[in-house]
Amino acid sequence: MFTGIIEELGTVASRDGSRLRINCANVLEGASIGDSTAVNGCCLTIVAFDATHGWWEADVSDETFTRTNLGALEVGDPVNLERPVRLADRLGGHLVQGHVDAVGEIVRSVPDLQIRMPTSLLRYVVEKGSITVDGISLTVVKPLDDGFTVAVIPHTSAVTTLGHKGPGSPVNLEVDVMAKYTERLIEAQFASLTRSEED
């Protein structure tokens, strides 16, 4: 589980088949093999690292490369990095699973960021609600017919990938998991009430 508060802007060092190497510094503090780290909001497992030289590696499945923007990464590209939240940490953003729901597209760059997203996810986007863009916890300013807008402050633009991306760039999206659970519970309750009325 993550918070959507980016700890560090790393860079892609290499991609060799399924093996992705990331250059970084801060997120290696206290790192161990098997630890999770979010890369652009996608939860990956550390399989090798060298804290002295500042890199770590993850094995990425074809499914993950296909369903996220990780498959489009090239050597030197910046990536948002975040370690999992600890129970003693402050929850500065919102609950983020690191499970990407879809890849969206930037329509308008920061600071007045506009994102286009698949219509199947639009029902989870509400004004002042939380959404994760490339692993960054953001607050929706305005839901749109094909996506949403968010206001990005200069600090966030400077310390995340959003300051490097322009119109047409793909971004990983994760909607608020609480909204999905609420929808599932309501659907189950509604189905139960419908069956009771039919009996």
* Residue ranges covered by each domain of the chain: 8-82, 102-183
Q: Which fold has domain 8-82?
A: Elongation Factor Tu (Ef-tu); domain 3 (2.40.30)
pLDDT of residue 173 exceeding 80: yes
Residues facing residue 23 across a β-bridge: 11, 55
Q: What per-residue confidence (pLDDT) applies to 86?
A: 85
- The architecture that CATH gives domain 102-183 is Beta Barrel (2.40)
Q: What is the pLDDT of residues 108-126, one digit of tens each?
A: 999 999 999 999 999 999 9
Q: List, in order, residues 6 or more apart from 173 with CB less than 8 Å away.
A: 41, 100, 101, 102, 103, 104, 115, 117, 121, 131, 132, 133
Of the pLDDT bands very low, low, confident and very high (cuts 50, 70, 90), residue 199 is: low
Of the pLDDT bands very low, low, confident and very high (cuts 50, 70, 90), residue 11 is: very high
Q: Do domains 8-82 and 102-183 have the same CATH topology?
A: yes
- Going by the DSSP 8-state scheme, the letter that residue 127 receives in this structure is T
Question: Can you tell me the distance from the alpha carbon of 81 to that of 134, in angstroms, rounded to the nearest whole number?
Answer: 10
Judge contact between 4 and 139, C-beta under 8 A: no
Of the pLDDT bands very low, low, confident and very high (cuts 50, 70, 90), residue 143 is: very high
